[in-house]
Amino acid sequence: MNSTLASASPYLASFPFPSSLPTAVVIPLAIVGAFIVICLVNGLSQILIPQDPSLPPLVFYWIPFFGSAASYGEEPLTFFFKCREKYGDVFTFVLMGRRMTVALGPKGNNFILGGRLTQVSAEEAYTHLTTPVFGKGVAYDVPNHVLMEQKRFVKVGLTIEHFRAYVAMIDKEVGDYFDSSRFFPTYQTGSTTEWGKFNAFRALSELTILTASRTLQGEEVRNGLDASFAQYYHDLDGGFTPLNFMFPNLPLPSYWRRDRAHKAMSDFYINVIQKRKEQGGSEAGYDMIESLMNQTYKDGRALYDYEVAHIMIALLMAGQHTSSATTSWALLHATARPDIMEKMWEEQVKLFGQPDGTLRPMTFEDMKEMPVLDSVIRETLRMHPPIHSIIRKVIAPMDVPGSLAAPSKDRSYQIPKGHFLLASPAVAQIDPKIWKNADTWEPGRWNDTDGVAAEEYKKYVDSEGDKVDYGFGLVSKGTESQYLPFGAGRHRCIGEQFAYVQVGTIIASFVRRIEMKIEGRVPDHNYRTMITLPKEPCNIMYRRRQAPSA
Ligand code: HEM
């Protein structure tokens, strides 16, 4: 058999395997040998063959196609910092056959997030991941101007008036959860001082979907969470992973479950919409479904039922991991800092304390009077922005401005059509050249009116002269800010205010009901998911507060 193989291939014939080796050994050795040769040729060609000088520097890699997938996938920010040191703010790396050009810093963010529609496309970068999950006719399955209109429709349903109602609804949901969740079985009665513990990410994921459905999603979805809807969500979420981003369709059970769950969830929403049409509205009042059902495109057409359904799925997915990760990181850090926990509690006692020792209910207006809570959220989003890589596809060649990265005075780089662009505002947010003690979670930095944080935040919210209306209200174009957890430009997040209300109310509700301390230390990042999550174990110890709250 060995000799048959050898004679069949002159390459194998010359390989130095003793003829007595069994086939089961020869074939793998031959494959490994060939693989090593291919990698060597690939590596040497990068060293020996001069690169096209109009292209940004290429991050060295041994394995063709795979490229820098391992270093990027495991620790993307460390990878970016290392590459920046070696190549500057603009460089290209290979990721599973794709050429990814990274542009760092505020100028890099501006270049990518403020890129022209004729040159960069989010649709082409994301649609293969999102359309099987969200469904047809929305988000990245439609031309950009349609998405801009859809973002405007959603904004109509995200008003201050709604947020006012949401605070009490979210607080109540947290209270009910403490009474019923398997994560909170420990009660302190009389002299008992036993501490219980909960898994921060799991508990906060459950609370995020419960509170989002009670508020934004509507009564039917909230009721469905106790039944079939929760399973659809789980299976759909299983189709929103880095593997799905790399390979849109593989013959795997998780892909089939994703497709079945999408169909079931889409039908669920369509049924809700049709029932509401028959009944002439929702019994529960005015929620996002109701709001979307009453919108019309610029050409006068109302949204089709399936468009409403798919926008609702998109909102569910866009807000779920981003908010639950933020709340988890905030609580994990705060519980590791007893001084901050104490300050958050004191803030509540000062604001809500009543003569009988109970705390009065919170309101939306109160939340603006809670600087400690606010700084906890801002600092968490600085260190743990849930989205570490924002991606676009280059659809027409783009010149990199000289001010961003130019190899020489009279030459700039050009990024070819077909490359992907990658912005990572997360890098600037933890850059030690910008932030003092950049890798320390320190909410106090946001209360220093002369500090970098205040300056960057002002640029973030103000960005004078840099605001554009892409069709869903004024947003900053790309900003010069070093702090962009919600992105910038035409694809900027529209859920920021809702997220602040949701995350802020959940944290405040925890603080008023339980004392907390971390078990162990703040966990490391898990970058293997689409959203940057805390690694397991991420447990928090709790003890119910003795003083009842209203
Ligand atoms: C877009 C972050 C919560 C809905 C984005 C983007 C970022 C972001 C960075 C820009 C993506 C890009 O440019 O490709 C966050 C963070 C959140 C959060 C940090 C919470 C802490 C939410 C919530 C919703 C939401 C709660 C819905 C209610 C959206 C939508 C877009 C978006 C619709 C627009 C996508 C586009 O135009 O391409 N978000 N988000 N987000 N987010 Fe959020």
226 and 362 share one domain? yes
Q: How far is the CA of 521 from the centre of ligand 1 (A)?
A: 29
Which atom from ligand 1 is nearest to the alpha carbon of 325? 21
Averaged in consecutive runs of 10 residues, what is the pLDDT profile of the chain (550 residues)? 44 52 85 95 94 94 96 96 95 97 94 94 97 97 97 94 94 95 84 86 94 91 82 91 92 96 95 92 80 95 98 96 97 98 97 94 95 97 97 96 75 92 96 95 91 82 72 75 92 96 98 96 94 96 75
- State the total domains in the chain: 2
**What local confidence, expressed as pLDDT, does residue 446 receive?**
94
Does residue 35 lie in a domain region?
Answer: no
**What local confidence, expressed as pLDDT, does residue 549 receive?**
52
257 and 225 share one domain? yes
Q: Are 260 and 133 in contact (CB under 8 A)?
A: no
302 and 159 share one domain? yes
Does residue 41 lie in a domain region?
Answer: no
**What local confidence, expressed as pLDDT, does residue 173 receive?**
95
SS3 content of the chain, % helix, strand, coil (to 5): 55, 10, 35
pTM of model > 0.90: yes
**What local confidence, expressed as pLDDT, does residue 455 receive?**
82
Q: Which of 147, 205, 322 to mutate to test the pocket of ligand 1 (most atoms within 8 A of CB)?
A: 322
**What local confidence, expressed as pLDDT, does residue 285 receive?**
67
**What local confidence, expressed as pLDDT, does residue 10 receive?**
47
Here the CATH number for the domain that contains residue 144 is 1.10.630.10
Instruction: Please state, as a whole number, how many other Cβ atoms lie within 10 Å of the Cβ of residue 413.
Output: 24
> Is any ligand 1 atom within 6 A of the Cβ of residue 122?
yes
DSSP code string of 301-329: PBPPHHHHHHHHHHHHHHHHHHHHHHHHH
Does residue 16 lie in a domain region?
Answer: no
Q: How far is the CA of 386 from the centre of ligand 1 (A)?
A: 10
395 and 482 share one domain? no
**What local confidence, expressed as pLDDT, does residue 1 receive?**
41
Residue-level length of the chain: 550
ipTM above 0.90, yes or no: yes
> Is any ligand 1 atom within 6 A of the Cβ of residue 326?
yes
Name the H helices within 364-483.
364-367, 371-383, 425-429, 452-461
536 and 456 share one domain? yes
394 and 522 share one domain? no
> Is any ligand 1 atom within 6 A of the Cβ of residue 491?
yes
248 and 354 share one domain? yes
**What local confidence, expressed as pLDDT, does residue 23 receive?**
81
**What local confidence, expressed as pLDDT, does residue 12 receive?**
44
Q: Are 427 and 482 in contact (CB under 8 A)?
A: no
Q: Shortest CA distance to 214 belongs to which of 544, 505, 492? A: 505
Domain span at 414: 52-131+390-423
Does residue 36 lie in a domain region?
Answer: no
